[in-house]
């Protein structure tokens, strides 16, 4: 049976990426390796529009978050954590294990933060050393309007640390322009590569902070990684996951070739069209307010007790999706990172319709009509 992976990480990787990842092992101290690293460094630099190199560490998104905490924070630091769900809570837990004093602020269910929340928090905690944000909260499908939120923070204000694990590549993210000091991401979501790499980018201020502090992790010592990356011929301090790098280099070639902005618009177009189908069937979207609604993933509410059976019914058709998480259960989460277009929207909507009917949920038809109206409205020639 044909399998379709629509979990919000890992994502289905294109055929050429899989083939690239099967390339021969090479020495990571040789010229060929430095060339590959140089290429990946250049492509990621253009994606983020940054000068400082993106550091690639063996690991996953959580590893990248851990690297930020280890390098940019110290025990006793006062950190305000803005959380919209499970992943915001995880980042909070990571910094508290680093010994930071955490001030926890939680967005209401299914919502993100607004400028007023940031202003208020800064006034109330003028001594804060750092702020934590999640760009795209994958447990709920909330996207925070980061550019707008961060414009409230003065340039000499607290360090801004951002979990961009599920946004990078699939939606615009400009750390230098938006004022992000530490950005964490991974290879297996918006970048369409296999799992295995944690990505970290620091601002100039972030690197200064890292140089002043003591990093308790040898493996995740970002200054060490940066020294190796900045050599005339870039290298890694430790053995890198070569196969994952091969895959990532190829996916970056594909995505950059398509154009990052056009790619993001295409992803959003699919998400919006699928949502229109869901609503036409009678499902409610977990995120009620459009301004917070994810352009890369749909979280849809299912009737109580139907989450498991629906996931199973879809699985039986060859479609893998994710259930809700933690305190944000009762949903199905379906990602739109994959490269497909309109046919993929139909596959997902049709699959959902069939699964719902099989599970005794009375869903309406006519959903393709609604989805296609949105598809046409959201489209432009480049996507």
Ligand X SMILES: *Cc1c(COP(=O)(O)O)cnc(C)c1O
Task: Pick the closer one to ligand X by CB: 186 or 314.
Answer: 186
Q: Please give the helix or strand (H or E) that residue 19 lies within, else none.
A: helix 15-21
Task: Pick the closer one to ligand X by CB: 55 or 281.
Answer: 55
Q: Does 169 help bind ligand X (rule: CB under 6 A)?
A: no
Task: Pick the closer one to ligand X by CB: 61 or 112.
Answer: 61
Residues 161/131, Cβ–Cβ less than 8 Å: yes
Q: Does 62 help bind ligand X (rule: CB under 6 A)?
A: yes
The piece of 26-34, 37-45, 125-133, 159-167 that touches ligand X (CB under 6 A) is 159-167
Distance of CA 238 to the CA centre of its chain: 25
Minimum Å distance from CB 332 to ligand X? 16
The piece of 160-168, 202-210, 309-317, 335-343 that touches ligand X (CB under 6 A) is 160-168
d(CA 265, CA 269): 6
Minimum Å distance from CB 192 to ligand X? 14
Minimum Å distance from CB 186 to ligand X? 4
| Two tokens, residue 163 | 């979990």
Q: Which of 48, 131, 165, 222 binds ligand X (CB under 6 A)?
A: 165
Distance of CA 89 to the CA centre of its chain: 15
At a CB cut-off of 8 Å and minimum separation 6, what does 360 contact? none
Q: Does 61 help bind ligand X (rule: CB under 6 A)?
A: yes
The piece of 35-43, 163-171, 320-328, 358-366 that touches ligand X (CB under 6 A) is 163-171
d(CA 373, CA 360): 28
The piece of 59-67, 104-112, 210-218, 331-339 that touches ligand X (CB under 6 A) is 59-67
Q: Does 89 help bind ligand X (rule: CB under 6 A)?
A: no
| Two tokens, residue 63 | 């590893």
Residues 328/248, Cβ–Cβ less than 8 Å: no
Q: Does 298 help bind ligand X (rule: CB under 6 A)?
A: no
Structure letter (DSSP) for residue 295: S
- Which residue, 361, 337, 362, 366, is CA-closest to 349? 366
Minimum Å distance from CB 273 to ligand X? 22
The piece of 21-29, 158-166, 209-217, 304-312 that touches ligand X (CB under 6 A) is 158-166
Residues 61/185, Cβ–Cβ less than 8 Å: yes
CA distances from 314 to 5, 13, 72, 329, 352 (A): 11, 20, 43, 18, 7
| Two tokens, residue 82 | 């803005």
The site string for ligand X over 185-224 (x = CB under 6 A, - otherwise) reads: -x--------------------------------------
The site string for ligand X over 115-144 (x = CB under 6 A, - otherwise) reads: -------------------x---x------
Q: Which of 71, 166, 235, 338 binds ligand X (CB under 6 A)?
A: 166
d(CA 51, CA 64): 19
d(CA 134, CA 88): 6
Q: Does 9 help bind ligand X (rule: CB under 6 A)?
A: yes
Residues 180/202, Cβ–Cβ less than 8 Å: no
Q: Which residues pair with 325 in a beta bridge?
A: 328
Task: Pick the closer one to ligand X by CB: 81 or 235.
Answer: 81
Q: Does 244 help bind ligand X (rule: CB under 6 A)?
A: no
Q: Which residues bind ligand X (CB under 6 A)?
A: 9, 60-62, 87, 134, 138, 163, 165-166, 186
């Amino acid at each position: 049976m044909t399998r379709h992976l629509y979990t919000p990480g890992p994502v289905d990787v294109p055929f050429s990426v899989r083939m690239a990842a099967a390339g021969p092992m090479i020495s990571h101290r040789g010229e060929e390796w430095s060339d590959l690293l140089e290429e990946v460094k250049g492509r990621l630099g253009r994606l983020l529009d940054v000068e400082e190199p993106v550091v690639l560490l063996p690991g996953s998104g959580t590893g990248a978050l851990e690297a930020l905490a280890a390098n940019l924070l110290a025990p006793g630091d006062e950190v305000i954590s803005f959380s919209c769900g499970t992943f915001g809570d995880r980042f909070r837990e990571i910094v508290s294990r680093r010994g930071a004093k955490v001030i926890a602020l939680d967005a209401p269910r299914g919502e993100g933060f607004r400028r007023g929340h940031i202003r208020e928090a800064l006034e109330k905690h003028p001594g804060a050393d750092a702020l934590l944000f999640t760009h795209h909260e994958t447990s709920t499908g909330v996207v925070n309007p980061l550019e707008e939120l961060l414009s409230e923070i003065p340039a000499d204000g607290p360090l801004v640390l951002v979990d961009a694990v599920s946004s990078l590549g699939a939606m615009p993210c400009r750390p230098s322009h938006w004022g992000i000091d530490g950005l964490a991401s991974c290879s297996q979501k918006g970048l369409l590569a296999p799992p295995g790499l944690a990505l970290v980018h620091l601002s100039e201020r972030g690197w200064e902070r890292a140089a002043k502090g003591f990093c308790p992790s040898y493996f995740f010592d970002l200054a060490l990684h940066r020294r190796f990356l900045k050599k005339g011929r870039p290298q890694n301090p430790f053995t890198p996951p070569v196969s994952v790098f091969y895959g990532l280099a190829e996916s970056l070639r594909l995505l950059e070739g398509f154009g990052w902005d056009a790619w993001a618009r295409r992803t959003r177009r699919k998400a919006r069209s699928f949502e229109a189908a869901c609503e036409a069937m009678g499902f409610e979207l977990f995120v009620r307010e459009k301004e917070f609604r994810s352009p890369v993933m749909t979280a849809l509410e299912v009737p109580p007790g139907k989450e498991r059976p629906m996931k199973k019914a879809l699985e039986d058709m060859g479609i893998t999706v994710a259930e809700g998480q933690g305190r944000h259960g009762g949903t199905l989460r379906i990602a739109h990172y994959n490269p497909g277009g309109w046919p993929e929207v139909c596959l997902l909507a049709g699959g959902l319709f069939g699964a719902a009917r099989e599970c005794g949920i009375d869903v309406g038809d006519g959903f393709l009509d609604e989805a296609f109206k949105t598809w046409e409205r959201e489209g432009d020639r480049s996507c």
